[in-house]
Amino acid sequence: MILIADSGSTKTAWRLLNAQGEVAQALTVGFNPYYQNTPEIAQTLKDSLLPQLPGATPQEVYFYGAGCSAKDKQDIVAAALLEVFPSAQAHVHHDLEAAARALCGHKEGIACILGTGSNSCLYDGEKIVQNLPNLGFILGDEGSGGYMGKHIVQAFLNQELPPDLHQAFEERYHTNRDEIVDNVYRKPYPNRYMAGFARFLSDHRDHPFIYQMICKCLGDFFEKAVIKYPDYQKKETHFVGSIAYYFRDILRTVAKQYGVTVCTILESPIEGLSQYHQQKLTL
């Protein structure tokens, strides 16, 4: 029996599998070792995962997560998993590997993540062969929910929103500069906080000001994370994540401006990952 986790900074989808198929599934908050340490992750797993999977004793746990590219960050998550499942082997991989396996299968392509955060890689059908630098929430994450949230909040605080949007924003969030600054600079998970404002863009996407903002944010992603790959126009490009999925119509429009061929767009890679590991179990 194996346990698979696909974790972003906001939520984690879990699947428990055996050789016959799916046994159970669960949903918890997201984990990111840049913001959480081993005891914090372990305690959250004990409080929210174990009650959903009573008696589960997987022999292996495959965790694909945001912020898990460096070994020291992988070790933080692995230690938490072993505290919760002491008899299991813990395998921690970057969420890009999950995206590439779920989106490209065994074919070459560009795999992109557009959720709370953003990232991309060039995949040769078996492994990631190139990954453009991702600078995280503060310096990068172009096109992500956090990035879009920052743009709409900046426009609100700088009095740059059209009057109708400014009023709608005020009535919806009842917030101000001090509260926003406190959440961004003093409280944990500023990326999650900012990503929450992306829903405002989704709800007002037909407004010309918002539509242009969405296009600009997505265009920034293509500029930083897609068109720098060699021969990108000749390769199939795939996307996974809530931002890619819910803005998929605008995403395809912006992609055409860069000559990018968008193929698969998924909200989550968990189903593709389940199929991948299910095949390994039956071998």
In this structure, is residue 212 part of a structural domain?
Answer: no
Q: Is residue 67 part of a domain?
A: yes
At 69 the three-state DSSP class reads coil
pLDDT of residue 283: 59
Tokens representing residue 138 in the block: 């503060």
C-beta of residue 93 within 8 angstroms of C-beta of residue 64: yes
pTM for the model stands at: 0.78
Report the pLDDT value the prediction gives residue 83, as an integer from 0 to 100.
96
Contact status, residue 104 vs residue 77, Cβ threshold 8 Å: no
Q: What is the pLDDT of residues 132-150, one digit of tens each?
A: 888 777 777 899 999 999 9
Q: Residue 19: inside a domain, yes or no? A: yes
Q: Does some domain include residue 48?
A: yes
Residue at 59 is within a domain: yes
* Residue 246 confidence (pLDDT): 95
Total structural domains within the chain: 1
Domain range spanning residue 56? 2-98+270-282
The residues, any chain, with a CB within 8 Å of residue 89's CB and separated by 6 or more, are 59, 60, 61
| Secondary element (H or E) of residue 237 | strand 236-240
Q: What is the model's pLDDT at position 262? A: 95
Please report, for the domain that includes residue 76, its CATH number: 3.30.420.40
Residue 26 maps to a domain: yes
Single-letter code of the amino acid located at 63:
F
pLDDT for residue 245: 95
pLDDT single digits (tens) 45-80: 999 999 999 988 999 999 999 889 899 999 999 999
Separation of alpha carbons 257 and 277, rounded Å:
37
**Cβ atoms of 110 and 236 closer than 8 Å:** yes
Given a contact cutoff of 8 angstroms between Cβ atoms, the answer to whether 14 and 50 are in contact is no
Q: Looking at the domain assignment, is residue 88 inside a domain?
A: yes
Structural tokens at position 69:
């590219």
- Classify residue 176: in a domain, yes or no: no
Q: Which ranges of the chain would DSSP assign to H, the alpha helix?
A: 38-44, 71-84, 95-104, 136-139, 145-157, 163-173, 177-185, 190-195, 198-203, 208-225, 242-246, 248-257, 270-282
First to last CA, the chain: 14
pLDDT value at position 132?
87
3-state SS class at 244: helix
What pLDDT, on a 0 to 100 scale, did the predictor assign at position 282?
A: 66
In 3D space, the residue among 109, 141, 113 whose CA is nearest the CA of residue 128 turns out to be: 109
Residues of the chain with pLDDT under 70: 9, 282-283
